[in-house]
Structure 1
Amino acid sequence: MDIDFSEITLDNNIRIVLSEFSTTNAVAANFIFGVGSRYEDDEFAGASHLFEHMLFKGTKKRPSPKQISSVIENTGGVINAFTDKEITGYWANFPKENTLESIDLFSDIIQNSLMKENDLNLEKNVVIEEIKSSLDNPYSLCNLNFEKINWKNHSMGRDIAGSEKSVRSISLSYLDTFFKKFYTPDNLVVSISGNIDKNKVIDQINNNFINFKSIKKNIDNPVKEILGFDQISVDKEMEQSVITLGFKSPSYMDEKKYALSLISIILGESMSSRLFEEIRENRGLVYDIHSSINLHSDTGVIYFEAGVDDKNLFEVIKLIFAELDKIKNSNVDEIELNTAKKLATGRLLLRLENSRAISGYLGSQKIVSNKITDVEEVIQKINNVSLYEITSLAKEIFIKEKLCISKVGPKNSKFIDFSNISL
């Protein structure tokens, strides 16, 4: 599968990625900025997320949230946004006839948000409720605590939404400073896919952002890897324990990420994975157990999550370690590796079956690495991963010094010290 796309950089340094195909009536647009929670000051943690919310509160042209959302929703489309650790994105799906109007909408909210004090106070309350909801969810809390100890005192370890205290401290004046620092043309990628007229789209973006001035600034906040085992345990009113167990891994920019993705698939990304088969199907110790990877520009993590009866927790962790040890000792054969490759490549192809997925795929790559790897090249890189690379990477990352364990368990559950566990 080849995605036909073109790239252009406007005079003010906005990067545009366009993918045109006439087999659909839909169009998807992503306006992605290279800013997220890792670039925030501790005192004002959550500013990226709060600012994202504020852009939907109104502009002079469209002074209410309803007047903003209705531009897309009244066509049958969907509009939303997201904030991550390194990027913030505003996206929509809509019929092809509404492409130019939708571009006008995004340019309007990005450049002309009213930013009213009353709206800010209201939205702070919304975000704080969102934070409380995450802290009430055992899986979310467990993952947040894992990130905190995995990245120690770095901003990567903070909740993307911030804390109630930090959100309360964010003022309109600070958001104005934040906007001027991070919401600049050189820090924006516009990715649009679907049934579009490329020339009209480029002209519309250029005209709408003609006064959007570029001020190049250094916004790096590199991660210095701190090795050493760590663990955290929290008690809540609940029936079972939840664990997040993870290891520091190669980053998004590292070619080892392809081998890492296959290791994660082999271990826990399907019902036929090793951990699901051994711990759920063969032993009945959990309802769900799975693995995931989170990759960022200069750091990454592979982690395992499970909900388990507290009395079986130590056994489950030992079983996870046993599977990691097998991979470190060349236990994977060509058949299992090829199966993982088919899953990885098939999932990628299926994921890119619509305009929104393609727009996100192209835009997120461009904003993070400033380059786009074609789908066929990604598939080739996955298929080129060898058994030796799997074993070597497993030996590199599955070590005690890169391990962190987070547990959220029932009130009065027994504290388990994992520091002496062998790996």
Structure 2
Amino acid sequence: MIQETTLANGLRIITDFMPYTLSTSISLGVQVGSRHEHDNIAGVAHFIEHLLFKGTKDMPDPLQISETIEQTGGTLNAATEHESTIYWCKIVSDFTEQSLKLLFDMIQNSLFKPQSIELERHVIIEELNGVNDDPSSKTEANLDELMWPATALGRDIAGTKETVKYISREEILNFLSTHYVGSSIVLSVAGNLKHDQVVDAVHRYSSKMSTGEKVEIPEIISTQSSRRFRSEYRDTEQIHMSMGFPGVSRGDPDRYAVDLLCTILGEGMSSRLFNEIREKRGLAYDIGSGVLHFDDIGSIQVFAGLHKTKYEEAIAVIISELDRCKYDIAESELNKVKSLITGRLKLRLEDTRFVSGWNLSQELSSSEIRRPGDVLRDIEAVTVSDVTKVAQKYMTHDRMNISIVGPVGKLSLI
């Protein structure tokens, strides 16, 4: 059972009562991410996420923060995304209130000691070095730059080594005070809990938080009209390839048709790409597809680690399979992927972490919580014609982007 309360400072609280569980999961979302940053402070949202684990007034030792959750058997973590930052924990239900207290202590009373900032600055630069050193991650990063040039979507969420090197403590604190405010925060709790007790606790722990104002993100509109290609030579044993097309936003009417299209293409061992590229031809070990939905736009992506002397053949087959989706999808195939999505979603509904995160993402993205059953009904309503139409509409050759990292020369397909 879902209940919702909005406090006077604008902070939204969602609880989902799951009486059969022993755990409770808490997801605290802030509507701020890399898309809210100016170019000169790129990476500051991610920087703050790291620093909130480095000590507060009541818990100056970072070890105290992790031990508060871990000594109970729980898990504590966080992630910065393009449009939000999420702090979450999963604990035994008996420790719900102390976990709430910890999370609100972290977002309101972190110390941001100069020495902690300098130490974490080096940690993040090493994180960026890791992305650059990993061919698969580098391929994805290059694809983002190719698809979304001169925008926040085209750079790493963690920023660049240059911006991270020079972000100041003052800039960090200014960004924090602007965005970590009641009107931009959603708390989602799922498990064996009582709504009123959660609301009372959050009211106490956030009583000094200002309402503030939500900051809108600049809209991104794709104007791509010709194919783009980028290769980067690396002496690797595989060709790492990422292919992308501009897609649809979270609220677009085509969303679920696009999701089903991507499932048909590259989700699991029964998908088209897995069977054509790996099973029938042996051209790759890892291949799949995915979809991203943002507030105003999205993307359709294919990724693969390809045989280094047969990558052109593999890419040609991939493109052929994408094109085949524009006219050749059987009702039985569509029904299979609908069943796959439905089954996986239902299995996840037993996990308080998933339920907490689901409700949070719904509220953050649309200020309306759509139950899984509502989404499944929309998925069930998608027809074969809907899927072929979105394939024709979005997977056009003039909006194709291909990023390759490995021992590659000029690609004759481009």
User: TM-score, normalized by length of structure 2?
Assistant: 0.98
Match of 1:321 among 310, 319, 331: 319
What corresponds to 1:22 in structure 2?
19
RMSD: 1.0
What corresponds to 1:265 in structure 2?
263
Unaligned runs of 5+ in 2: none
The answer to whether the 8 A contact 2:183-2:214 is kept is: no
- Alpha-carbon separation, structure 2, partners of 1:75 and 1:17: 24
- Cα offset, 1:284, TM superposition: 0.9
- CA distance change for structure 1 residues 141 and 311 in 2, over 3 Å: closer, same or farther? same
What corresponds to 2:279 in structure 1?
281
What corresponds to 1:350 in structure 2?
347
Match status 1:389 vs 2:386? yes
- Alpha-carbon separation, structure 1, partners of 2:36 and 2:283: 40
Aligned residue for 2:167, secondary structure, equals coil
Aligned 1:369-384 pairs, distance under 5 A:
369-384=366-381
- Cα offset, 1:217, TM superposition: 4.2
- Cα offset, 1:236, TM superposition: 1.6
Unaligned runs of 5+ in 1: none
Match of 1:75 among 72, 85, 96: 72
**Which amino acid letter does the alignment assign opposite residue 66 of structure 1?**
L
Aligned residue for 2:309, secondary structure, equals helix
What is the aligned-residue identity percentage? Answer: 37
- Cα offset, 1:241, TM superposition: 0.7
What corresponds to 1:161 in structure 2?
158
- Alpha-carbon separation, structure 2, partners of 1:326 and 1:387: 13
The answer to whether the 8 A contact 2:316-2:413 is kept is: no
What corresponds to 1:304 in structure 2?
302
What corresponds to 1:185 in structure 2?
182
- Alpha-carbon separation, structure 1, partners of 2:246 and 2:48: 30
Match of 2:139 among 139, 142, 151: 142
**Which amino acid letter does the alignment assign opposite residue 293 of structure 1?**
V
The answer to whether the 8 A contact 1:138-1:408 is kept is: yes
What corresponds to 1:129 in structure 2?
126
- Alpha-carbon separation, structure 1, partners of 2:133 and 2:349: 34
What corresponds to 1:236 in structure 2?
234
Match status 1:202 vs 2:181? no
- Cα offset, 1:219, TM superposition: 2.7
- Cα offset, 1:351, TM superposition: 2.1
What corresponds to 1:108 in structure 2?
105
- Alpha-carbon separation, structure 2, partners of 1:11 and 1:53: 29
Aligned residue-pair number: 413
The answer to whether the 8 A contact 1:131-1:161 is kept is: yes
What corresponds to 1:216 in structure 2?
213
**Which amino acid letter does the alignment assign opposite residue 393 of structure 2?**
E
Match status 1:34 vs 2:31? yes
Aligned residue for 2:325, secondary structure, equals helix
The answer to whether the 8 A contact 2:36-2:215 is kept is: no
Moved over 2 A (4+): none
The answer to whether the 8 A contact 2:10-2:211 is kept is: yes
- Cα offset, 1:237, TM superposition: 2.7
Aligned 1:90-105 pairs, distance under 5 A:
90-105=87-102
- Alpha-carbon separation, structure 2, partners of 1:278 and 1:12: 55
1:187-245 CA-to-partner distances (Å, cap 9, x unmatched) read 00000000112111100001110110111143321112121321111112311111001
- Cα offset, 1:111, TM superposition: 0.4
**Which amino acid letter does the alignment assign opposite residue 97 of structure 1?**
D
1:43-92 CA-to-partner distances (Å, cap 9, x unmatched) read 11111111000001011101111111111111010101001111101100
**Which amino acid letter does the alignment assign opposite residue 356 of structure 1?**
R
Match of 2:86 among 83, 89, 95: 89
What corresponds to 1:415 in structure 2?
410
- Alpha-carbon separation, structure 2, partners of 1:181 and 1:351: 35
The answer to whether the 8 A contact 1:231-1:418 is kept is: no
- Alpha-carbon separation, structure 1, partners of 2:84 and 2:412: 36
- Alpha-carbon separation, structure 2, partners of 1:91 and 1:314: 43
